[in-house]
Amino acid sequence: MAGGDGLQRWANPLHLERKNKKKPRPMSASKYSVSVLKLRNFRMLLATRMFVMMALQAQSVIVGWQIYSLTKDTFLLGLTGLVEAIPAIACALFAGHVVDIGNPRKIYIACVGTLALNTIMFLLFAGGIVPIESKPLLYLIYGGIFLSGLARSFIAPASFTLLSQIVKREEMPSAAAWLGTGFQISAIGGPAIAGLVYGGYGPAGAWFLPALLMIGAFGAVNAINIGPHQRGERRENAIKSIHAGWNFIWTHKVLLSMMALDMFAVLFGGAVAMLPAYADEVLHVGSEGLGALRAAPAIGAVGMTLIMALKPMKHLSAMRLLWVVAGFGVCMIGFGLSTNFWLSLFFLGLSGVFDSINMTIRATLMQLLTPDHMRGRVSSISSMFIISSNEIGAFESGTAARLLGLVPSVVLGGICTLIVTGAIAYLSPPFRRTVVDVNTSQKSQT
């Protein structure tokens, strides 16, 4: 395969170290903790991602509450995840190929613009500005979710690739943590505000929030300016390009194990899709309480991501990743058994702490271990794992809730997360022993 030597060098960072006669001088992680925010393009990228994520998080709360209010059916509530996952997974591999041969900035702009138009459509119809009957409204909501999934299949690899063009390699841990902080702030504000506005002003008032945020995101992404895009010389056809991406992941056991851990653990352990039902049937707190429940994981995570942004990790350990995923599973069990609103908030908040560490480690490792010409495809494959864990996990949660009951399904999901974590730790000793030095890009197994 063309470029095979370069691929091997990226797959084995030790190869780079052996070729350097002079050992590189370690860089202080704190040096890059704040300096990355001085980059205008990074600030615009951060703003774009925050606006988009806040809008999508708010949209998720509004859609979930509207569907459950119209149907009182947990299966249809979980179906929202499957409807979004189908186009996102089906197009992910092709999207990665398109990003690798195209202009990631233009693709990112097109994706954000599509999401903005889609949200305006929600405002008009789901917001009640244009009257529509309940059954057609349900079809329209699911159609909008499908279109959102289609746009998200391209937005993930485009954003991932664009970040590498803006931020230096040694700044990646700090950049990943700041982006994680922005995500968590968005995850706090979006659901909380959407829940409060929905409770006070109904869907018409609530849908204005994501619509305005998406318009803001479209303005911010257009402000990113990284100069003329330099196209690569090689032009493989789509099938060969996609196969090369899969081959890279399959032979890179650290990335493969990390993606599998996140997919299967969160697939069974996620309870977000069932929060509208929990808020109504178990905790009896209404849409306002639903907004607080959706925001709780982010509230727990934002403090941790700020710490990691100001003091980036110098060593990334797979064992730490295993422990935080296990901690997430324990939190899901605690949340499932809780019937007290404040205790439920505590477990969800603690789950956010664990998830923020998990997210930062995964994002940094992906950036450090992925070659430039592979970024779109590797990110698209990673997005398939993430979508499988989140959106298909939502469908799994809805199906399990219908078959087993709401509370047993969540508790069993947390137990499955612990089983998956233990299985990956046992079956993949090399992954369990892996530590990556951020300053030297050196991978070791202890």
DSSP class per residue in 77-90:
HHHHHHHHHHHHHH
Q: What is the pLDDT of residue 164?
A: 84
Q: What is the pLDDT of residue 426?
A: 85
* First-to-last C-alpha distance (Å) of the chain: 32
User: In angstroms, rounded to a whole number, what is the distance separating the alpha carbons of residues 266 and 258?
Assistant: 12
- The answer to whether the beta carbons of residues 121 and 11 sit under 8 Å apart is no
Picking from 268, 340, 290, 392, the residue whose alpha carbon sits closest to that of residue 68 is 290
Strand order across the 442-445 sheet: 315-317, 434-437, 442-445
Q: What is the pLDDT of residue 270?
A: 64
Q: What is the pLDDT of residue 15?
A: 35
**What are the residues whose beta carbons fall under 8 Å from the beta carbon of 322, sequence distance 6 or more?**
261, 421, 424, 425, 432
Q: What is the pLDDT of residue 294?
A: 76
- β-sheet bridge partners, residue 317: 435
Residue 231 lies in a domain: no
As averages over each run of 10 residues, the pLDDT of the chain (446 residues) reads: 34 36 42 76 94 91 86 80 81 82 91 96 91 89 92 88 84 82 79 81 88 96 79 59 75 78 70 77 80 80 78 77 90 89 90 85 78 76 67 68 81 87 84 73 50
Residue 28 lies in a domain: no
- The answer to whether the beta carbons of residues 274 and 401 sit under 8 Å apart is yes
Which residues of 264-345 form beta strands (DSSP E)? 315-317
**What are the residues whose beta carbons fall under 8 Å from the beta carbon of 163, sequence distance 6 or more?**
45, 175, 179, 367
Residue 11 lies in a domain: no
Q: How many residues does the chain have?
A: 446
Compute φ and ψ for 423, nearest 5 degrees.
-65, -45
Q: Record the tokens describing residue 424, joined without a space.
A: 């990956």
Number of independent structural domains in the chain: 1
Residue 233 lies in a domain: no
Residue 161 structural domain: 33-225+238-445
Residue 8 lies in a domain: no
Compute φ and ψ for 28, nearest 5 degrees.
-75, 125
The CATH number of residue 128's host domain is 1.20.1250.20
Burial 134-160 (b: 16+ CB within 10 A, else e): eeebbebbbebbbbbbbbbbbbbbbbb
- The answer to whether the beta carbons of residues 354 and 328 sit under 8 Å apart is yes
Residue 230 lies in a domain: no
Residue 109 lies in a domain: yes
Residue 376 lies in a domain: yes
User: In angstroms, rounded to a whole number, what is the distance separating the alpha carbons of residues 11 and 5?
Assistant: 10
Cα distances from 82 to residues 28, 76, 95, in angstroms, run 44, 10, 19
